[in-house]
Amino acid sequence: MVKSVSPLRVAALEPLSETSAGEPPGRRGLDALSVGRRIRHHRRARGLTLAQLGEAVGTAQSLLSQVENGKREPRLSLIAAVAEALGTTPADLLDPAPPPNRRAALEIELEQAQRSPLFRSLGLPRVAPSSKLPTEALEALVALHGELARRHDASNATPEEARRANTEIRLLMRAVDNHLPEIEELAEEMVRAAGYTVGALTHRQVARMAQELGFSIIHVDDLPHSTRTVTDLAHGRIYLPPASIPGGHGLRSLALQAIAHRILQHERPASYTQFLRQRLEINYFAAGCLLPRSAAVEFLSAAKADKDLAVEDFRDAFGVTHEAAAHRLTNLLTSHLGIPVHFLRVGDDGALYRGYENDGVPFPQDASGAIEGQPVCREWTARTVFDVRNRTTENYQYTDTPAGTFWCSSQTGSTEHGGFSITVGVPYAHAKWFRGRDTRVRRRSSCPDASCCRRPAAQLEERWADAAWPSARLHAQTLAPLPSGRFPGVDDVEVYEFLTSHAPRPDATGSPG
């Protein structure tokens, strides 16, 4: 049986909610409101009042009222007693399937909407979904809450909100050295159960992990363009592309990310911040499986002892991309080897697309603290590597900055959208552990001082300032809001039509074939 980990509680980055604090691990998925509404449905169907049911099971009417309204989670002993009194079974009352009728479903939706932070922020009085409230009124209230939530999400689905959320998560991860121990343990447990011992995790072992969760992996060539994978929860299928997609996302990694959503019990993200946190978790889990902690730390410790740490060796030992190996180092170097580190993915246009640091390197930031899209100093290794002719191996450089001297290793790659560099660096004092520490390449950076590389030379500015009129390329994404489907960036119509076309067809008995 696969154990589960609640979203980002693994790193204590998010406090427990009121409804889940103190719950036993096996019951965190229990929806108290749904259980309560099922009890109410069966009670009314048998013509019993709360007082009569309370007398039958030896429980106070007030307690049963709290249970039916989802304000209190019933003990299993009470569930059993209520089920017997109502002529049903505990399994029926605890069934995660949809509510028994439309009225119950509407009552649950209204209760859940009125418990949301959005509703509480409005300061409006709560409407009790009592039996006296007409079903038509319930329909209207639920629809209004749905539209309110949709408009709230749309107003927040902006590049500014995305950057704010990304900055918040980056700072939280820096505070824990980019290390999530519980996901590490879970990934290790999963790969060992699938038969992993050493070296690269195989596709067969990934398939076994999916089977353990009741899923089969199916490769298709018509995935919706807005998705990397699609999981059919109804039929236990994970759909993947037929071959690796551009950018280094291998099939193993894609499958592991889809598996991670299930293992970590992710629910549909209610905000862009939650969406990004889930993305971080599934990426972390995939990395923890492809480069399992025990084997990875053993490999890195031996390399450190030999003073021969190298991203390319780490990459080759586990059969992953250079970027995956470099990013995995940020999870392990500080927590297990005591080495502070930074990581950058920089486009050939000089923009920083992804970054992490806990070693004090001065990343470029905007006024909000966001680093994404900011221009990296032209003197940094991540930029100078594009001028190197031999790009087949790692390139090394020392860079003197206002925050100290850093040693860095960079490697370039390319996608259909252009070139990029992957850089891993450490403070000067820790360069002694790495291959390439003897490089004589050294640059000096005074960024964020504009005179370093952002301000043109005086003679060039004098010559061209009034004679140049470039036509700037418009980055349309800076003007467009984020897509507002059930999942950010995903076209719901495409996904649902795709699932319909690939769903198993019923056989002659009416069961899925």
* Residue-wise pLDDT tens digits, 4-19: 544 444 433 443 233 3
Q: In whole angstroms, give the CA distance from residue 135 to residue 141.
A: 10
Q: What are the start and end residues of each CATH 3.30.450.20 domain in the chain?
A: 309-455
**Is the per-residue pLDDT at 401 higher than 90?**
yes
What's the CA gap between 383 and 420, in Å, rounded?
A: 9
Contacts 24+ apart (CB under 8 A), 204-211: 206/252, 206/255, 206/256, 206/259, 206/289, 207/255, 209/256, 209/259, 209/289, 210/238, 210/255, 210/259
The alpha carbon of 291 is separated from its chain's Cα centroid by a whole number of angstroms, namely 18
Residue 346 has pLDDT above 80, yes or no: yes
Token duo for residue 416: 């259909």
- How does residue 154 score in pLDDT terms, banded at 50, 70 and 90? low
Compute the distance between CA of residue 42 and CA of residue 152 in angstroms, rounded to an integer.
Answer: 36
Residue written as token pair 């004098």 = 462
Q: Which DSSP category does 98 fall into?
A: P
Give the pairing type, strands 404-415 and 418-427.
antiparallel
CA distance 105 to 315: 51
Helix (H) or strand (E) holding 279: helix 272-290
Burial track 31-55 (b if 16+ CB lie within 10 A, e otherwise): bbbbbbbbbbbbbeeeebebeebbe
The mean pLDDT of the chain is 85
The closest alpha carbon to 298, from 188, 463, 174, 410, belongs to: 188
Closest among 42, 161, 21 to 90, alpha carbons compared: 42
Query: Does pLDDT of 210 surpass 90?
Result: yes
What is the per-residue pLDDT across 156-166, written as a single tens digit (0 to 9) for each?
A: 556 677 788 88
- End-to-end CA distance of the chain: give it in Å, rounded: 26
Q: What is the largest CA-CA distance in the chain?
A: 94
Give the pLDDT score at 352.
94
- Tell me the Ramachandran region of residue 360: left when phi exceeds 0, alpha when psi lies from -120 to 50, beta otherwise: left
Taking a C-beta distance cutoff of 8 angstroms, is the pair 433, 339 a contact? yes
Average of per-residue pLDDT across 433-453: 94
**Residues carrying CATH 1.10.260.40, the chain:** 9-156
Do residues 379 and 453 make contact, with C-beta atoms less than 8 angstroms apart? yes
Mean pLDDT over 336-346 rounds to 97
pLDDT given at position 468: 84
Q: What angle do CA 320, 326, 327 make, to 5 degrees?
A: 95
Of 49-63, 403-417, 450-464, the least confident: 450-464
- List CB contacts of 272: < 8 A, sequence separation 6 or more: 156, 157, 161, 162, 165, 482, 488
Protein fold of 9-156? 434 Repressor (Amino-terminal Domain) (1.10.260)
d(CA 104, CA 73): 18
Cα pseudo-dihedral 141, 144, 148, 150, rounded to 10: 120
Instruction: Report the percent of the chain where pLDDT is more than 70.
Output: 86
pLDDT at 470: 81
Q: Enter the tokens of residue 431.
A: 């360069």
Range 205-209 average pLDDT: 95
Report d(CA 287, CA 499) in Å as an integer: 28
HSE value, Cβ hemisphere, 13 Å, CA-based, for 5:
23
User: What is the model's pTM?
Assistant: 0.72
Give the side-chain half-sphere CA count within 13 A for 424. 30
pLDDT at position 187 over 80 = yes
User: In angstroms, what is the C-alpha Rg of the chain?
Assistant: 27
Cα(126)–Cα(308) distance, integer angstroms: 64
From the list 137, 133, 140, 141, the residue with the least C-alpha distance to 112 is 141
* Domain 309-455: CATH superfamily, name plus number: PAS domain (3.30.450.20)
Q: Is the pLDDT of residue 510 over 70?
A: no
Q: How sure is the predictor about 72, in pLDDT bands with cuts at 50, 70 and 90?
A: confident
* Most confident segment among 223-227, 317-321, 453-457, 494-498: 317-321
Cα–Cα distance for residue pair 198/230, rounded to 1 Å? 30
- Token pair belonging to 153: 């999400």
Q: Is the pLDDT of residue 409 over 90?
A: yes
Beta bridge partners, 354, equal 345
Q: Would you state the pLDDT for residue 392?
A: 73
Identity at 45, one-letter amino acid code: A
